[in-house]
Amino acid sequence: MLRYLLAGTVFLAMLLSAGPTVAIEVADAVITTAVIDREPVDEVGAFPIQNGKLFCFSRITGAAEPTFVYHLWYHGETLMSRVELPVNSPDWRTWSAKKFLEDQPGEWHVDILDVSGNLMRQVNFQLR
Tell me, what CATH number does 27's domain have? Answer: 2.70.50.30
Q: Indicate whether 80 belongs to any domain.
A: yes
Q: Indicate whether 43 belongs to any domain.
A: yes
Contact of 112 with 29, CB cutoff 8 Å: yes
Q: Indicate whether 73 belongs to any domain.
A: yes
- Of the listed ranges 14-18, 41-45, 78-82, 117-121, the least confidently predicted one is 14-18
Q: Indicate whether 75 belongs to any domain.
A: yes
Residue 53 confidence (pLDDT): 94
Number of domains in the chain: 1
Helices (H) and strands (E) in the chain, counts: 1, 10
Residue 17 confidence (pLDDT): 43
Domain that holds residue 67: 23-127
Average of per-residue pLDDT across 3-31:
61
